Every structure is written in C-alpha cells, then in structure tokens.
Amino acid sequence: MGSRRPLIGITGRKDTPARLSHITMCAVGETYIRAIHHVGGTPVVIPPTMALDSDWEALIAHLDGLLLSGGGDVDPALYGEKSEPWMGHVDVERDVTELGLTRAWLADGRPLLAICRGHQVLNVALGGTLYQDIGALIPDALDHAYVATQPMESIAHSVRLDSTSQLAMILSGTTCDVNSAHHQAIKAVGERLVVVGHAPDGVIEAVEIPDHRFCIGVQWHPEAMVKASPTMWPLFEAFVRAASA
C-alpha cells in the first residue's frame, strides 16, 4: 500500500427530486465531491441523520477531514432565539447531526472546512448566533443572495482578509472576489473563532480558529468557483494537505 488518500466527510442534505417525489434522498452537491477529489482527497457523504454520540464517534474514528457543506437555515432555537418570519427551510435532524459532529470533531483537533451554511453551523457549534435575514436586519447591506438569480460561479462582492490570517496566507493576498448565495450571516461570534474576512458592507465572510491545525469557515461557495477560475483551489489543497498530515 502506498500513501493513502485522506478520507473527507462532506455533510449532506435531504432532498426530494422532482422525478422521485415520493423518495427523500440524502445528498451532496457534486461540485463539493469533485473539488475534494481533484486535490487528492477521497470524498464520502455524511447523511444528515447521524444525530447520535455513537455516530460521531464512528465518523471521527474513520475520517481525516470534515467539510460542512451549504444548505438551508439553522433552527434559531439552537442558538437561543425565536424563529422570525424571514427564516428559510430548516431540517433540525441535520442541524443536530452537524452541530454534534462539529463539536466532537473540533475537540479532537481535526481539520475542518466550513462552507456557507457550514460556516454558520461552525459558529453556532461554538456558541455564536446568526442574523436570520441580512436584508431585513442589516441596513444598507449588499445583495448577498446574488447567485439565486445568477450562475453559482458569478462574482458578487469582494472580501477583505486579515493580513495575519491563515486564509490570507493560503489565498496569497488580503482581498478576494467571491460568489454569494446566503441570506443569513454570523451575528455574535462563537468562542475560539476569529473573524478574518468581511464583505464591503461589514458582513462577516470568513472565520478561523488560529491555533487549530485547519479550521476555516467561508460564507461564499469556493467549490462552485473553481471550474470558472483557479483562485479558490489553494483553499481545498490546504485543507486536504492538513487532513493528510
């Protein structure tokens, strides 16, 4: 046996395809899977139904990296707030799966990449809160749900990165252009997390745990950008390299 490709768990969502409306699928967008495979990882889908301590123990025993993927909104009850009318779709079973797995995973010091909803899940897992809707709650904010009407790779806004962050080092600069497909954002920042990236309107776009081997959250969708532009490959390369160590 040569050196093994690291096993990267990607959290899935429930979905009902139009042609199979009587079946609930547990699925992950193909762009996440192809991005991880392209940089040397072997992707596996984590169903959003792994809500037991024993599930998390089994996953931690086998996985080398954890990718929290995009999706719907986190149940506000899980960060101590009431659900407001502008909340989107919630799957509490997925929330419980991802929050429990994330806490157990980070306690073990393992590499984690969190994307869009995942970046919000990471924040809630560490005790943070979310704005339930940017448009309703943040005056003069940009349109962060931009790609709802555009291809996923479309650039929506820039992000300014903290020059001392791991993310700035990985992306070789302190600004980047990103897509944007979210209507929620980080409000109170979770314990141990440091905000390392903002949109021009002040919305938090990137976080990391500085003393962790690799724990980075981004509010944009790098997996949907890599086909059109190479700028986000280094993020996936650095993550899978950390998972190989």
The site for Mn ion (CB under 5 A) is made up of: 144, 180
Give the separation between CA 43 and CA 10, rounded to whole angstroms: 7
Q: Is 37 a catalytic residue?
A: no
Q: Which is the catalytic residue, given 22, 81, 116, 183? A: 116
Q: Which is the catalytic residue, given 98, 205, 208, 223? A: 223
Q: Is 221 a catalytic residue?
A: yes
Q: Which is the catalytic residue, given 144, 157, 182, 221? A: 221
Nearest residue by C-beta to Mn ion? 180
Q: How many CB atoms lie within 10 A of CB 58?
A: 12
User: Is residue 176 classed as helix, strand or coil in its secondary structure?
Assistant: strand
Measured from the CB atom, the residue of 51 and 152 that comes closer to Mn ion is 152
Q: At its nearest, how many Å lie between Mn ion and the CB of residue 80? A: 24
Q: Is 81 a catalytic residue?
A: no
Give the separation between CA 26 and CA 71, rounded to whole angstroms: 12
Give the separation between CA 183 and CA 86, rounded to whole angstroms: 9
Measured from the CB atom, the residue of 165 and 180 that comes closer to Mn ion is 180
Q: At its nearest, how many Å lie between Mn ion and the CB of residue 115? A: 12
Where does the chain show beta strands of DSSP type E? 7-11, 13-15, 25-27, 42-46, 65-68, 112-115, 130-131, 157-161, 175-178, 185-186, 194-198, 204-208, 215-218
Q: At its nearest, how many Å lie between Mn ion and the CB of residue 90? A: 21
Backbone angles phi, psi at 50, to 5 degrees: -100, 70
Q: At its nearest, how many Å lie between Mn ion and the CB of residue 141? A: 9
Q: At its nearest, how many Å lie between Mn ion and the CB of residue 237? A: 23
The encoded tokens of residue 186 equal 């980080």
157-162-167-172 Cα dihedral, nearest 10 degrees: 80
Catalytic residue numbers read: 116, 221, 223
